[in-house]
């Protein structure tokens, strides 16, 4: 597993949006803008979604993913990660989406909880290749 350079970890503390690429059943890419987080202790990039959404179904079938995070203050500064999903878990997912909501929306709780088709899940990505610019 490769680490995210310390000089780019601030992107996981800002309102940085990421583009999360998964593989569809027919082999074509599917890209979704997502909120993103980083677990420095385990070295995982984290994405939160609802069970049953396309990206969650895709990673269950094929755990190879890509994710790119652009600095909201400088679009020429970014970190790009290719890796593998090592876990999709409901454990701590509701608390995690609320934590992301505080960062991205400056609200205490995720506002769309009642509209979900399934329970929240955290997708843990182990980086295998990291590229940076800026």
Rounded Cα distance between 86 and 124, Å, is 6
1 within a domain of the structure (yes/no): no
**How many residues does this entry show for the chain?**
134
For residue 98, tell me if it sits in a domain.
yes
CATH, residue 66: 2.30.110.10
Please indicate, yes or no, if residue 48 is contained in any of the structural domains: yes
pTM, rounded to two decimals: 0.94
Tell me the per-residue pLDDT of 27-78, one tens digit each, with 9 for 90 and over: 999 999 999 999 999 999 999 999 999 999 999 999 999 999 999 999 999 9
**Nearest Cα to 43, choosing from 6, 95, 90?**
6
126 part of a folded domain = yes
Q: What percent of the chain has pLDDT over 70?
A: 97
Q: Show Cβ contacts of residue 57 under 8 Å, excluding neighbours closer than 6 positions.
A: none
Number of domains composing the chain: 1
Q: What is the mean pLDDT of the chain?
A: 95
d(Cα 15, Cα 30) in Å, to the nearest integer?
Answer: 22
Mean pLDDT of all residues in 72-85 = 97
Domain extent at residue 15: 6-133
- Supply φ then ψ for residue 122, to 5 degrees: -105, 130
pLDDT at site 115: 63
3-state SS of the chain? CCCCCHHHHHHHCCCCEEEEEEECCCCCEEEEEEECEEECCCCEEEEEEECCCHHHHHHHHCCEEEEEEEECCEEEEEEEEEEEEEEEECCCHHHHHHHHHHHHCCCCCCCCHHHCCCCEEEEEEEEEEEEEEC
């Amino acid at each position: 597993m490769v680490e995210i350079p310390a000089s780019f970890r601030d992107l996981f503390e800002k309102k940085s949006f990421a583009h999360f690429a998964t593989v569809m059943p027919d082999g074509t890419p599917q890209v979704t803008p997502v909120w993103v987080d980083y677990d420095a202790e385990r070295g995982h990039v984290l994405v939160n979604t609802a069970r049953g959404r396309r990206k969650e179904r895709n990673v269950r079938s094929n755990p190879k993913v890509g994710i790119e995070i652009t600095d909201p203050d400088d679009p020429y500064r970014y970190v790009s990660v290719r890796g593998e999903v090592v876990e999709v878990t409901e454990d701590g997912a509701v608390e995690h989406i609320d934590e992301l909501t505080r960062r991205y929306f400056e609200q205490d709780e995720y506002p769309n909880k009642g509209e979900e088709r399934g329970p929240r899940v955290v997708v843990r990505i182990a980086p295998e290749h990291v590229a940076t610019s800026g």
